[in-house]
Amino acid sequence: MEHVKRFGAAAALAAVVLVTGCGQAPAAPPDSAGTTSSSTAGRDEQPAPQDVLVEVAVSGGFAGVRNKLVVHYDGSYTLRKGTGEPTTGRMTPDGVAALRAALEDPAYAQVPDRPTGRPVADGFEYAVTYAHRLVLTRDGEDRPPALQRVFDALPDGGPPTAP
């Protein structure tokens, strides 16, 4: 009987996956001719220059800051402070290389995803998104050196905390 229950649950899960398409690789995007190419689809392809490299959202502080910095692989970036108009800029090639090296450092992959300490009154909270991984941290935490290296490599020398 135990074997039948396990088999039934596995069959139900398989049916859900089959019906919803979960577990299937996404189709390759069409090329300029409108066709898809499976040879360019996959994890080893290089990101396009305008793909997002990293996104950093900062909130909190005495003034109630809500800023968002988006950096692209080509070094272009957009900064939105609160509900104001976004500003744009471009990092130097060396700056982009330093940021990528900090993000790709195996030590950065070991940075905890969630804060572990108590929040600091009027401190900032930071949400860093890179390669589909979100790292949340805040002032008052012991900041791992790998995360500090990412912060130091951001445009203007750190996360956007000014109102």
Q: What does the pLDDT look like over 9-60, one tens digit per residue?
A: 333 333 333 333 333 333 344 444 443 333 334 456 788 888 999 999 999 9
State the pTM of this model.
0.70
Give all strands (DSSP E) within the chain, no chain letters. 52-60, 65-72, 76-81, 87-90, 124-130, 133-138
Q: Rounded CA gap, 32 and 2, in Å?
A: 54
Percentage with pLDDT > 90 across the chain = 56
Q: Give residue 107's identity as a one-letter amino acid code.
A: A
Q: Tokens 């988006």 label which residue?
A: 70
Q: What local confidence, expressed as pLDDT, does residue 96 receive?
A: 97
Q: Which two tokens stand for residue 29?
A: 């995007």
CB 81 within 8 A of CB 163: yes
Residue 71 has pLDDT above 60, yes or no: yes
Q: Answer left, alpha or beta for residue 40, where phi above 0 means left and psi between -120 and 50 means alpha.
A: alpha
Residue 160 has pLDDT above 60, yes or no: yes
Residue 101 has pLDDT above 70, yes or no: yes
User: For 33, how many CA atoms within 13 A lie in the half-sphere containing its CB?
Assistant: 3
Q: What local confidence, expressed as pLDDT, does residue 129 receive?
A: 97
Which whole-number Å values give the CA distances from 142 to 14, 81, 128, 157, in the listed order? 44, 26, 16, 19
